[in-house]
Structure 1
Amino acid sequence: MQVPLLLPDKVALVTGAASGIGLATAEVFAKAGARVVLVDRDADRLQQAAAAFAPDRSLTLVGDATDESEVAAYFEDARRRFGRIDVVMANAGWLGPPAQVTDLAFGQWNKSLSVNLGAAFLNVRAAVRMFLDQGGGGSIICTASGAAVEGVPTRSDYAAAKHGVLGLVRSAAREVGNCGLRVNALLPGVTETPMMEEDLAKAEAVGGSANGIREALSAGIPLGRWADPREIASAALFLASDMSSYVTGSALVVDGGFTV
């Protein structure tokens, strides 16, 4: 995949970067000229991911995007290594098992909001603080979902959190636009990621059909297939770069037409 040099010597921090959309985005950012900071709580996957990056132009940090002190620490570690941060992609996410509202455990509800919304807030706040300290400017991207604009049966926890991400993005964009900061949301559709594979495995474990679910989801997508993570990463590159210099508070849908 050829990538235009849209982020020459920029510094980009990506959370949830050990696999899936986060890893693909870090790879695309690196090809676009950025020095990249990969953050993830999964140390083993993160170590494997690090092999794809030049050591002098990358930094891998084990960190929990839902922990306030750890977020502050990895932002400072990144700035200490590279001197500044120009792009932040708040991408950490979690998809729990499907459950009707009547059966959804409060613990799962809280975890979903913590990982999918709380982590976005902590990283947006840290990014805004650092960008302002650097004199303004910068791009923040939050990974939301098509579930941010629709109701999703058996996924009320996930949908509620992703709806919240849009509220966070739009509010923050209005607050910091006059400082040259841009805040946008990326809404991927169904994507070939380890998280989705794990979800299919959970469905099979309780008697479902992974192939049946895959076919049913694909049938609802006008383009007829799931996304490659690199296709989502290409949209993230647009939002990270000056190609989107007049775009803020937006929700960029990249779902093959699923929510049309």
Structure 2
Amino acid sequence: MADYDFADKTAVVTGGASGIGRETAIQFAEAGANVVVTDVDDERGEDVASEINDETEGAAVFVHVDVTDMDDVEAMVETATEEFGGLDIAFNNAGIGGPEAHAGDVEEDEWLATIGVNLNGVWRALKAELDAMTDQEEGGTIVNMSSVLGQVGFEGSSAYVAAKHGVLGLTKTAAWEYAGEDVRVNAICPGFIETPLLDEAGITTNEELQGQIAGMHSQQRLGKPEEIADAVLWLCSEGASFTNGEALTVDSGFTSR
């Protein structure tokens, strides 16, 4: 982890109970930020907030947030402003894996559920965050979770791929729309990372499949959550002050071929 200073800043992290979200929330706190950790998994989310409060220089609260529910998302932003006085940083990370099927075989409810979380959920969070950030003097920074699969096709993942492509379009457009109000909006595009999402997809529990996926990366391994979290912190730092509308790819060359 690089040395960042987010003292007196407040960050919200959706999907903060595990994986990349958990690691990012902890890194923000270690850099001095106050963090609103959100997730639908209350037990693990509370554990992350407790770990931050017990072991870092930052402070944290947990809020149950389902990103398919606008009321939940608005409550998340209200908590940030009421508990910590404002909202400086947002990492819209919550997501699901989606169905594994060819495009014509995906069931409608599966398609809508995947888009509902991975794209519409990012938009809901962005909408609420922008409302708060444009109502304060210093603006803010937002990072949306896309994927390398937001840049390329991937057989059997049409709903997920479509949602992650949509996140990039949303990010680029919002970046232009709100730059004049001192809000930067970027996206992060990880390769395949060792997270519970890959466990659920059966990738990390199948040695042969994991080897095949790892082989799609130049370093012949899966990424680690902390490697993505460090990139998110950079995007939110002063070092990235001229970075806006970017899709930052952290994928060990997955998209380079």
Query: Do both proteins adopt the same fold according to a TM-score greater than 0.5, normalized to the shorter chain?
Result: yes
- Aligned counterpart, 2:214: 218
Distance in 1 (CA, whole Å) between partners of 2:196 and 2:37 is: 17
CA-to-partner distance for each residue in 1:202-260, whole Å, 9 max, x for gaps? x97xxxxx111100011111011111100000000001111100100000000111111
TM-score (norm 1): 0.94
Match runs of 1:28-43 below 5 Å = 28-43=27-42
Q: Which amino acid aligns with 1:50?
A: A
What does residue 256 of structure 1 align with?
252
State the Cα deviation string for residues 172-192 of structure 1 (Å, max 9, x = none): 001000111100000011000
* Paired residues for 1:82-93 under 5 Å: 82-93=84-95
Letter in 2 for 1:48: D
SS for the counterpart of 1:150 is: coil
Cα deviations by residue, 1:2-50 (Å, 9 ceiling, x for unpaired) = 5413212210100000000000000111111111110101112212222
Contiguous gaps of at least 5 residues in structure 2:
none
Shift in Å, 1:51: 2.8
**Cross-structure match for 1:207:** none
**Counterparts of 1:45 and 1:139 in 2: how far apart (Å)?**
26
Q: How does 1:116-195 map onto structure 2 within 5 Å?
A: 116-195=118-197
List, as ranges, runs of 4+ consecutive aligned residues in structure 1 with deviation greater than 3 Å.
none
Inter-partner Cα distance in structure 2 for 1:74 and 1:157: 27
TM-score by length of 2: 0.95
CA distance in 1, matches of 2:254, 2:35: 31
Q: What is residue 226 of structure 2 aligned with on the other side?
A: 230
Taking only the aligned residue pairs, the percentage that are identical comes to 38
When structure 1 is superposed on structure 2, of 189-198 and 48-57 the one drifting more is 48-57
In structure 2, C-alpha distance between the alignment counterparts of 1:79 and 1:195, rounded to whole Å: 30
Residue type matched to 1:174 in 2?
A: W
Check the 8 A contact 1:97/1:199 in 2, yes or no.
Answer: no
The letter for the 2-side match of 1:22 is G
Paired with 2:62 and 2:238, the residues of 1 have a C-alpha distance of 25
| Contact persistence 2:64–2:72 (CA under 8 A) | no
CA distance in 2, matches of 1:57, 1:47: 13
In the alignment of these two chains, the number of paired residues is 253
RMSD over aligned Cα atoms: 1.5
